[in-house]
Amino acid sequence: MENSRGKNIGITIFIVLLLTPIYWLLNMSFKTNQEILGGLTLWPENFTLHNYEVIFTDPSWYNGYINSMIYVSMNVVITLLVALPAAYAFSRYKFLGDKHLFFWLLSNRMAPPAVFLLPFFQLYSSIGLFDTHIAVALAHCLFNVPLAVWILEGFMSGVPREYDEMAYIDGYSFPKFFVKIFLPMIRSGIGVTAFFAFMFSWVELLLARTLTSVDAQPIAAIMTRTVGASGIDWGVLAAAGSLTIIPGLLVIWFVRNHVAKGFALGRV
Amino acid sequence: MDKIPNNRAWWLVLPVFILVAFSALVPLMTVVNYSVQDIFGPGQAYFVGTEWFREVLTNERLQESLIRQFVFSGAVLLIQIPLGIAVALMMPKTGIKASLCLILLAIPLLIPWNVVGTIWQIFGRGDIGLFGWGLNELGFDYNYTGDTGDAWFTVLLMDVWHWTPLVALLCYSGLRAIPEAFYQAAEIDRASKWAVFRYIQLPRLKNVLIIAVLLRFMDSFMIYTEPFVLTGGGPGSSTTFLSQTLTTMAIGQFDLGRAAAFSLIYFLIVLLVSWLFFTAITHADKKQ
């Protein structure tokens, strides 16, 4: 019993330390700029929603959130649609060049985005996709699709092949088997994959900023605007930052029961 | 399980192949193309062969940022992996408390990277940040924008804050997969806590640890946004890592040939290290 109390204290301390910087951001977002710069206060003394008001009443601010949500959703859908059949192929069949293909896919997850920055810009400009949501969604597929294939392959390998064979004997066609029987069995794997695709697309900034200018600009790029002629508008910056945490919280709430398994990419 | 040889499986992989080839091969070819040319402007490019490669390999600024990058990635792994294991061991096993821990731990992972930079930029400031103010009050002369050591400390701390939860969650899921019978057997044998960790938990964590090391190496090696927002690479160039050197070169100075040659070398390093890890993983998978 003594020991478990020690563990509880340890984990509590870690989580408190983890949350302190976030609390500080939240704390600042409810303060006026005078209070922020006037001196250190541990909680907002003149509680104000002004900073959030600025964001929610200015389309150029809140459109950033909408843009980010649009390309992230597109990316998750595209990633799942192409990764599901591919992961099935990798988990069930041996085919020409499968191992090399798998490593090549993974190697793209390892490519530093900085390497591809300029070519991406030129590629998407030349096909007229610059500053569109789909451009960012496609660019993010570069690292999300390989990861998705990797995670899904792990989950699919856990389903015995007898299920596939049984379904064929029962007269199911492949598409029908795949959608009606197979996908429900790896539900949690799909949820976890969607979570990861969401997460990496949501947090990425470098590519998203390079491929957009006005119409599809992500919130992360708009945040740099708070640096004005009169210095940094700390309050609004903090409010904008705080708001970017909410979508992630919602998503993790939905997959909380599968997170542990998913973080090991189905490989424990 | 045994896989069936079937080349028609290519049809299932084809969409992924086309999509990733489109976003990977075309840009890669562009980079290769740049790396052998000297480009002054549209239509004014001259073939220079391997000159950029030779120059990049002897370029002092690049070598410095490469060394800095390896030191950073090494430090990240050395701190985060043991800390992550420790946190995973401390986490409650079941119930609402476990779910709560999972969600709270995952929060830093879901914050956009530039916001992570912003959070620490604010948090570390001496005048308006709790952390910087606290350190100064305690008598430390802490200023991450002016002092190299402080800047490194802050960037490292930020990365530990940001990514240790990932390692912890990975290890946690590895620990959950250990059958209870193992622990009961250890209890009967009166195994010490250390023995349980060393001979039961650690070997079982091997697979997830390889994944953790791989992910942390790759991502820390590509780090750009967080230190860029936090320190802007300074003071001087003391926290300028590879990606930032590269981006400054390609976009800031429009030095395309050199940047492209450098990109290729950068990519090759990552590829080589990742290949080593990948072989280790598939090897471990086979053994099971």
Query: Residue A107: CA atoms inside 13 Å, Cβ hemisphere, count?
Result: 21
Statement to judge: residues A23 and A64 lie in one domain: no
Q: Of A140, A227, A263, A265, which to mutate for an interface test with B (greatest number of B Cβ within 10 Å)?
A: A263
Statement to judge: residues A226 and A116 lie in one domain: yes
Nearest to B162 by CA among B128, B117, B126, B130: B117
Cα A130 off chain centre by: 22
**pLDDT given at position A46:** 80
Statement to judge: residues A119 and A206 lie in one domain: yes
CB–CB of A112 and B169 under 8 A? no
Instruction: Give residues with Cβ within 8 angstroms of B66, minimum separation 6.
Output: B242
Statement to judge: residues A74 and A177 lie in one domain: yes
Among all residues of chain A, which has the CA nearest to that of B178?
A268
CB-closest option in A20, A107, A264 to B170: A264
Among all residues of chain A, which has the CA nearest to that of B252?
A118
Q: What is the CATH number of the domain that holds A89?
A: 1.10.3720.10
Nearest to A24 by CA among B115, B166, B225: B115
CA distance A249 to A246: 5
Q: Of A115, A136, A199, which to mutate for an interface test with B (greatest number of B Cβ within 10 Å)?
A: A115
CA distance A26 to A44: 10
Residue range B231-257, pLDDT digits in tens: 887 787 888 888 888 888 777 777 777
Total CB pairs under 8 A between chain A and B: 292
Q: Across all residues in chain B, what is the average pLDDT?
A: 83
Min distance B115 CA to chain A CA atoms (Å): 6
Statement to judge: residues A87 and A176 lie in one domain: yes
CA distance B234 to A95: 50
Is the per-residue pLDDT at B163 higher than 50? Answer: yes
CA distance A136 to A146: 16
**pLDDT given at position A259:** 65
CA distance A84 to A165: 19
**What band does A265 get if pLDDT is binned at 50, 70 and 90?**
low
**What band does A145 get if pLDDT is binned at 50, 70 and 90?**
very high
**pLDDT given at position A16:** 92
Asked, for residue A268, whether it belongs to a domain, the answer is no
Among all residues of chain A, which has the CA nearest to that of B108?
A18
Statement to judge: residues A59 and A154 lie in one domain: yes
ipTM value for the complex: 0.83
CB–CB of B271 and A105 under 8 A? no
Helix ranges (H only) for chain B are: 10-35, 51-58, 60-90, 95-106, 113-124, 130-137, 148-176, 180-188, 193-196, 202-221, 225-230, 242-247, 256-287
Statement to judge: residues A256 and A229 lie in one domain: yes
CB–CB of A119 and B15 under 8 A? no
Statement to judge: residues A102 and A217 lie in one domain: yes
Residue range A31-83, pLDDT digits in tens: 888 887 777 778 888 888 888 988 888 888 888 889 999 999 999 999 999 99
Statement to judge: residues A6 and A69 lie in one domain: no
Statement to judge: residues A7 and A122 lie in one domain: no
CB–CB of A205 and B12 under 8 A? no
Residues of chain B with Cβ-Cβ distance to A18 below 8 Å are: 104-105, 107-108, 161, 165
CA distance A94 to A169: 22
Residue range A149-162, pLDDT digits in tens: 988 888 888 888 88
Residue range A55-66, pLDDT digits in tens: 888 888 888 889
Question: Pairing relation of β-strands B4-5 and B44-47?
Answer: unpaired
Asked, for residue A194, whether it belongs to a domain, the answer is yes
On whether the CB atoms of residues A93 and B4 are closer than 8 A, the answer is yes
Residues of chain A with Cβ-Cβ distance to B104 below 8 Å are: 15, 18-19
Domain total in chain A:
2
Residue numbers of the domain that contains A11? 1-48
Tell me which fold the domain B53-287 belongs to: MetI-like fold (1.10.3720)
Q: Which residues pair with B46 in a beta bridge?
A: B38
